[in-house]
Each structure stands twice: as C-alpha cells, then as structure tokens.
C-alpha cells in the first residue's frame, strides 16, 4: 500500500500533462493556503522584523512522513504595528463580493489602506485643529509662576542701585566690618577714626564719635537689635570697644581694658560678642559693664561673629578657616553625638549668616584660597551644601521672606593661585561672573538666580536692612556705598525700598 502511494505521488509530480482528478485519497492534489487581508495587514505593520512562513500543506505527504515543502519568507517592514502602511510591493489579494461590499462600506475600495500621513483637509478644518492643539498644549505645559518676593522679580528686573553715597576713608582691611544698618533705619559707617550715621528717613547725616589715634582705627561697627536699636558699638584695631547712644550722641560704655585687636562684633539683645585677634571671644553685657566673660577655642584671629535669631547660639569664624558654634547657655561648644560642631574652610571666614526661617541653618563663606559658600545645619553637620565661586566671599545674608541667600564678592583667582598659596594679584586677577558681584542663590537647589556687578572694585562688606528687602554694599577701593532692592516683602509686611519712598543718588 505504501509503495503504491509513493509511486502515484511521483507520477503526479513529474507528469506535466493534465489529468482528470480522481476521488482517491492518494491522488489528492497539493493544497496551497492563500493569505487573507488580515494576515497581510498584521505581517506588514509590526515594528519588529519577524519572519512568517506561508507553508504548503500536503495532507498526503504529512501522513506519509515526507519532509515539508520549502518555506516562502515574507519580511515585514518597520512600520507602526497598529497602523497599516502600504508596502513597497503589494501582493495580489483574492477578494470576494462580500469583501468588496465591506471595503466599499468602509471606504477602502481600490485596495486603499491606512497610512501615517494626514488626509487633506480644508483650511477651516486645519485652523480649528491648530487652535485645539494649542489650547491642549497650554493645559499640559503651564509655565511656572515667579514669586513677587523673589530676587528674580526684583533685583533681576532692576539691577541698578537705588541710592549711592560717598565713602572716603573706609578701611581697606578685608577682615573689617565697617558698616551696619539699624532697626531704626539708620546706616552707620566707620571712616578711619570717625563714625558717621545717616537717618534714611530724614536724610540727616550725623558724626557720632571719634577715637584718638592711640586707640587705633575703627575696625568694626554694629547696631543693637530691636531692644537697643539706637545703640551703636564699635571696635578698634587696638582693642578698644565702646557703645554709643545715637539719639543722645554720647558714650554709654567703654570696654578698653583689653588690648587685643577687635575682629567681628554682633549684638544679641543686651549682650555683645566681640572676636579677638588672640582667638578669644569676649562677651560684654551692657547692663553689667564690669562683668566680661571670655570664650576660648579659636587659635587665630576671630574675624566673623553672628548670633542666631533666637539668641541661643553664637557662630564664629577665624583667620584659619575654622567655624565654631557656641551654646550661650552652656557656655561651651555645641555638640552632636558627643562631638563638637565644627566647619572647616580653606581660607579665612568672615561672612556668617543664620537663616531666620529654619532653626540651625547656617551659611559661611571663605576668603582666598577657599572661595566657597557652605550651607549646613548645626543639628546635622555632616549634611552640607557647597557653592564654589573661586572668589572672596565677603558677606552673606538670608532673605527673611523666601528661601534665598545673597552673597557679596571681591577678587577672583585661578587654580594656580591656590596651588602656590600666594595672594592673587589685584591688577591681574581674572574676572568671572562672581567678581565684584552681588549674587543670589536659591535654597536648597543652590541655583544661581541673579548676579549683579554692583561695583567696579571688590565689595568689602554688606548689610541687610530692617525690612529684609534692601542691601547696602560698600567698596573701599571705589569709596562708594550703594543700596539695592533685592527682595520684596509679603503684602502688609516691611517697608518698600528700605524706607526710601524716592530713588536718588547722592554724590
């Protein structure tokens, strides 16, 4: 039986003459499967380059165990798998009256298929479609609004100074703090041996006091807080510390028993903290002038001192770059996990500022060769943020209204200056975006918001106004003092323009 079937198969395949088909199972002709439209649509629309085989089925050879016929490879295109695309070679499709009726009802006569291109539309339809697309894009792409309090809405819009004053004779010492702004809206400035102040509301300039030549040059000044807003303290390069009443224009206290030169000074209510050149920090109480406390811990000149807003902590920075934080109630270092809180810079630290809206958040800035701004929390000293500037950081001020910090800068330098550990030359120093600038950064992203070249020479010091919106900068080389509007206060808080209702320049 098997031999007869094989012989019949060979005769059928080799004989080209037509024969009448018989009903015998052994003489069944070869049946070839015709691909349908659905098969071609799927095979031509997949992104993956798969291979489908249209195999010739032979029931007789399948029964007899003969090898399958050769495969016909159909390669797919890289088209979208859900949108049928006309291929480069269209295979003939076997259609029936039923498929023609269905194609006609769907508008697919004449072998038309879907494609990725848009159909022709009238100008009116195109215009409506574009309007709808634009409206939808505006819904999903809403621009971020800029706060009216931020420096981006104030200093970035108007970069010019609001007021300018002459400042001849201001100390050229980079460690000096020769200017301060009181809560009564008075600006006090030290000019060599004299201290002047101006009431920004009345515009009256008054010479408050002067010191003898033997007492040295006035190095730093600072106004008392809200409780003592009319009291100004000064310190000289020979160790003299005095407190003056600006209203009565008379001296209140004279602490001249110590001959160690003064560094940074700052008021905390009735308590005045004064840094010394030998590394000590003297604490003077205006209520008990004869009782002076000493805090020791630094080894170099303490050039920066700043009390926290709650009056509990005192941060000090010295000439070697060490920053200590003191607990005034314990009269000792602040410790975390039995370790004292210590921040280290590669250069002297004069610029120190506490954030008024977050407890323990402290910003410190280093001079040459450090040139960095460190943002750190005294409760988590290991988690700190760094803003490199390669420029002297002379002052830092947090905004009380938003999470932004302002820094003032002097000279810039290149890496070779740091390697050689030499002072950067004043005339050949490179100029960068931070040189002689006033720059505002966002917290905690540390992104630069705006940078303004406030002076043509290095900025030596800066102070923030009582409204928390305006900042005074001083350039000893340029002998100029300028006021800038940096932030805006929320509605109903603070004065606009630092109490200045008009804009002018005094020369």
Percent of the chain whose pLDDT exceeds 70:
70
Please tell me whether residues 248 and 321 are part of one structural domain.
yes
- From the DSSP assignment, how many helices (H) and strands (E) are in the chain? 6, 35
195 is a domain residue: yes
- Judgement on whether residues 410 and 262 belong to the same structural domain of the protein: yes
- Say whether pTM exceeds 0.95: no
Q: Residue 331 has what pLDDT?
A: 75
Q: What is the pLDDT of residue 428?
A: 60
Q: Where is pLDDT greater, at 503 or 234?
A: 234
| Average predicted confidence (pLDDT) for the chain | 79
62 and 176 share one domain: no
Same domain, 183 and 96: no
Distances (CA, A) of 373 to 154, 349, 408, 430: 23, 10, 11, 20
Please determine, for residue 95, whether its predicted confidence score (pLDDT) is greater than 70. no
Q: Could you report the per-residue pLDDT of 12-42, keeping only the tens digit for each?
A: 434 444 444 444 444 444 334 444 444 444 4
What was the pLDDT predicted at 143? Answer: 63
pLDDT digits 0-9 by tens, 406-445: 999 999 987 655 555 555 655 566 788 899 999 999 999 9
Angle of CA points 149, 154, 156, to nearest 5°: 125
Residue 122 lies in a domain: no
Q: Is residue 216 domain-shared with residue 338, that is, in the same domain?
A: yes
pLDDT band at 180 (very low <50, low <70, confident <90, very high): very high
Residues 352 and 422 in one domain: yes
Q: Are residues 41 and 186 in the same domain?
A: no
Token duo for residue 266: 């700052």
Tell me the pLDDT band of 333, cut-offs 50, 70 and 90.
confident
Distance, in Å, from the CA atom of 181 to the CA atom of 184, rounded to the nearest integer, reads 8
For residues 85 and 163, membership in a common domain is answered with no
Residues 194 and 340 in one domain: yes
**pLDDT tens profile 438-470:** 999 999 999 999 999 999 999 999 999 999 999
- Report pLDDT digits (tens) over 235-294: 999 999 999 999 999 999 999 889 999 999 999 999 999 999 999 999 999 999 888 899
Q: Among the three residues 72, 87, 105, which one is the final residue of a domain in this structure? A: 105
- The angle subtended at Cα 464 by Cα 356 and Cα 269, nearest 5°, is 60
Higher pLDDT, 415 or 80: 415
pLDDT score, position 109: 58
CATH code, 156: 2.130.10.10
- Specify whether 69 is located in the same domain as 193: no
Does 162 fall in a domain? yes
* 123 within a domain of the structure (yes/no): no
Question: What is the pLDDT, as a whole number, of residue 425?
Answer: 54
pLDDT in tens, 373-399: 999 999 887 888 999 999 999 999 999
Give the Cα separation of 25 and 377 in Å (integer). Answer: 92
Do 84 and 27 reside in the same domain of the chain? yes
What's 456-481 look like in SS3? CCCCCEEEECCCCCEEEEEECCCCEE
Return the C-alpha torsion angle 438, 311, 500, 453, nearest 10: 0
**Which of 155, 48, 72 minimizes the C-alpha distance to 449?**
155
Which residue range is the domain that position 89 belongs to? 2-105
Q: Which pLDDT value is given to residue 432? A: 86
pLDDT band at 332 (very low <50, low <70, confident <90, very high): confident
The DSSP result for 273-289, as a single string, is: EEEETTSEEEEEETTEE
How many structural domains does the chain have?
2
Residues 183 and 99 in one domain: no
The string of pLDDT tens digits covering residues 51-72 is 444 444 444 444 444 444 444 4
Residue 395, CA distances (Å) to 77, 303, 366 in order: 66, 12, 10
pLDDT at site 61: 43
On whether residue 128 sits in a domain, the answer given is no
């Amino acid at each position: 039986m098997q031999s007869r079937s094989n012989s019949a198969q060979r005769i059928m395949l080799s004989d080209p003459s037509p024969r009448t088909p018989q009903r015998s199972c052994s003489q069944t002709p070869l049946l070839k499967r015709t691909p349908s439209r659905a098969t071609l649509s799927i095979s031509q629309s997949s992104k993956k380059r798969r291979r489908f085989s249209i195999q010739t089925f032979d029931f007789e050879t399948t029964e007899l165990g003969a090898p399958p016929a050769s495969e016909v490879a159909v390669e797919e295109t890289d088209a979208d798998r859900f949108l049928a695309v006309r291929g480069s070679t269209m295979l003939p499709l076997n259609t029936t009256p039923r498929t023609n009726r269905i194609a006609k009802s769907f508008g697919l006569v004449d072998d038309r298929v879907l494609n990725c291109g848009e159909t022709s539309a009238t100008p009116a339809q195109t215009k409506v479609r574009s309007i709808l697309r634009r409206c939808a894009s505006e819904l999903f792409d809403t621009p971020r609004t800029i706060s009216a309090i931020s420096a981006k809405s104030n200093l970035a819009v108007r970069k010019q100074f609001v007021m300018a004053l002459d400042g001849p004779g201001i100390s050229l010492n980079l460690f000096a703090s020769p200017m301060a702004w009181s809560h009564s809206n008075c600006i006090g400035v030290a000019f060599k041996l004299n201290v002047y102040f101006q009431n920004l509301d009345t515009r009256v300039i008054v010479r408050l006091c002067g010191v003898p030549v033997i007492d040295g040059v006035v190095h730093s000044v600072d106004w008392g807080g809200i409780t003592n807003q009319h009291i100004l303290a000064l310190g000289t390069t020979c160790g003299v510390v005095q407190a003056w009443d600006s209203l009565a224009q008379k001296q209140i206290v004279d602490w001249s028993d110590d001959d160690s030169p003064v560094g940074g000074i700052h008021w905390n209510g009735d308590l005045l903290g004064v840094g010394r050149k030998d590394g000590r920090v003297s604490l003077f109480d205006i209520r008990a002038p004869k009782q002076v406390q000493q805090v020791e811990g630094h080894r170099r000149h303490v050039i920066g001192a700043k009390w926290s807003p709650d009056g509990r902590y005192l941060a000090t920075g010295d000439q070697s770059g060490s920053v200590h934080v003191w607990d005034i109630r314990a009269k000792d270092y602040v410790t975390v996990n039995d370790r004292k809180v210590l921040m280290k810079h590669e250069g002297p630290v004069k610029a120190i500022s506490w954030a008024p809206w977050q407890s323990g958040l402290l910003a410190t800035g280093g001079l040459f060769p450090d040139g960095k701004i460190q943002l750190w929390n005294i409760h988590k000293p290991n988690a700190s943020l760094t803003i490199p500037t390669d420029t002297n950081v002379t002052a830092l001020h947090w905004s009380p209204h938003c999470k932004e910090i302002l820094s003032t800068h002097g000279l810039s330098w290149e890496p070779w200056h740091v390697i050689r550990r030499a002072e950067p030359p004043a005339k050949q120093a490179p100029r960068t975006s931070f040189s002689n600038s006033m720059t505002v950064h966002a917290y905690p992203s540390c992104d630069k918001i705006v940078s303004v070249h406030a002076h043509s020479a290095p900025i030596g010091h800066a102070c923030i106004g009582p409204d928390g919106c305006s900042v005074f900068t001083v350039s000893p080389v340029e002998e100029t003092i300028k006021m800038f509007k940096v932030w805006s206060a929320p509605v109903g808080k603070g004065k606009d323009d630092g109490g200045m209702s008009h804009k002018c320049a005094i020369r």
